[in-house]
Amino acid sequence: MKIVADNTIPYLKGIAEPVADIMYLNSKEFTPARIQDADALIVRSINKCTRELLKGSKVKLITTATIGFDHIDTQYCKEAGIIWKNSPGCNAVSVAQYVFAGLLTIAFQKKENLSEKTIGIVGVGYVGKEIEKLCKAYGMKVLRNDPPRAEVEGENNFVSLDTIAEQADIITFHTPLTKEGRYATYHLADQSFFNKLQRKPWFVNASRGAVHDTKALIDAYKKEKISELILDCWENEPHINLDLLALTTIATPHIAGFSADGKANGTRMCLENIASQFHLQFEKIGEVIPPLPKNPVIDLNDFSENRIEQAILRCFNPLIIDKKLRESPDQFEWFRNHYNHPREFNAYTVVHATKDEATILQQLGFKLN
């Protein structure tokens, strides 16, 4: 069989070759002519799987190494009999740890105690649940908004978006991007939403850029309805709004889910989808694992204060990629393709933790010695 894969899918090369003819293309090379004879495509969000790309091809399966699938024309796939699969949850831990590290960074800058704050999580799916876990482990109060889940499970453990606008010190969005239906999320954070904000919250979007209305977000910030901004997702990526960039506290080029662990998970899930669909077996799939961190042991005695927080920022410091994006925003896509994928907390072993520190660190996902 023939597979066409984006050449930036990590840990893939050499894994499928024993059982398939695989061709690696960059995103600009994904043309009708190049993918015409492929049985399966392995893609990421930059590869737009449109009617124009797919029409007349032999493609039977599209598998994306991402949670999101708005880059796939699912309606055309249905018409053409093309099966598509995303990788739900593959990078949920990565996004959650990105958000948490960003919140800690701002708390440090403002000399505020993050554990005393209330966070509103909009969208409590794979990512939202991981953020809830981290925030609760750290002692924060969590408000959850997820109308589709509330409809199925009952409203007891969920609150309205209006309640979050009124009560949350931090609001973070983790919904898919949908433009139709009862729970459409396109411009969910719009002028009406921002006008309801009561506590000048920190605003976080690490889901999809168009979940917020850029003009309304800029306006809300200038009117001091929002005090801090963490943005990993932007409308019109990679051509991001420079006025909005200037207002952000932390700005990154859509890399929240780009941990090495999340990338390996996505690649592995794509291969599993192909194996299942075409009744293949990839003998080398166990080799789809990220490399060890350069310094896998974190000694809390290296830090004189804020030891837990310093351990977290040792794993991932958002200000490094933030600085690069601000200096060269036109390199947005280049930064994504050349990102140094960090390892997640569970790749690190912490030593010299007190009993109380150990309890929190274990709940956050660290190993202990």
pLDDT-derived band of residue 68, with 50, 70 and 90 as boundaries? confident
Tokens in use for 141? 């109060």
pLDDT-derived band of residue 70, with 50, 70 and 90 as boundaries? confident
8 Å CB contact between 125 and 174? yes
Q: Which residues contact 344 (CB under 8 A, 6 or more apart)?
A: 93, 94, 97, 259, 260, 261, 262, 315, 365
SS (H, E, C) 103-150: HHHHHHHHCCCHHHCEEEEECCCHHHHHHHHHHHHCCCEEEEECHHHH
- Provide mean pLDDT across the span 317-340: 96
For residue 45, the model assigns a pLDDT of 87
Residue 180: burial class (beta carbons within 10 Å; 0-12, 13-18, 19+): exposed
For residue 26, the model assigns a pLDDT of 93
Indicate whether 14 pLDDT > 90: yes
Q: What percent of the chain has pLDDT over 70?
A: 100
Tokens in use for 267? 């690649």
Q: Which of 144, 208, 212, 307 is catalytic?
A: 208
Indicate whether 40 pLDDT > 90: yes
Q: Which domains does the chain have, with CATH numbers?
A: 2-86+259-287 (3.40.50.720), 92-251 (3.40.50.720), 297-368 (3.30.1370.170)
> pLDDT tens for residues 159-192?
999 999 999 999 999 998 999 999 999 999 999 9
Instruction: Give the separation between CA 280 and CA 284, rounded to whole angstroms.
Output: 12
pTM of the model: 0.90
Indicate whether 203 pLDDT > 90: yes
C-alpha atoms less than 13 angstroms from C-alpha of 331 in its C-beta half-sphere: 13
Among 186, 197, 252, 251, residue whose Cα is nearest residue 219: 197
| Region for 341 from its dihedrals, namely left if φ exceeds 0, alpha if ψ lies in -120 to 50, beta otherwise | beta
Active site annotation includes 357: no
| CA-to-CA dists, residue 173 to 67, 239, 266, angstroms | 15, 21, 21
Active site annotation includes 224: no
Q: Which of 144, 187, 254, 336 is catalytic?
A: 254
> pLDDT tens for residues 204-246?
999 999 999 999 999 999 999 999 999 999 999 999 999 999 9
| CA-to-CA dists, residue 198 to 171, 220, 258, 271, angstroms | 12, 12, 33, 47
Indicate whether 17 pLDDT > 90: yes
- Provide mean pLDDT across the span 268-282: 97
- Provide mean pLDDT across the span 354-365: 97
367 or 46, which is more confident: 367
Cis ω before 238 (30° cut-off from 0): yes
Instruction: Report the range of poorest mean pLDDT among 67-71, 210-214, 308-312.
Output: 67-71
Mean pLDDT for the chain? 96
Q: Which of 29, 166, 237, 272 is catalytic?
A: 237
Q: How far is CA 176 from the centre of its chain?
A: 11
Active site annotation includes 254: yes
pLDDT-derived band of residue 337, with 50, 70 and 90 as boundaries? confident
Indicate whether 67 pLDDT > 90: no
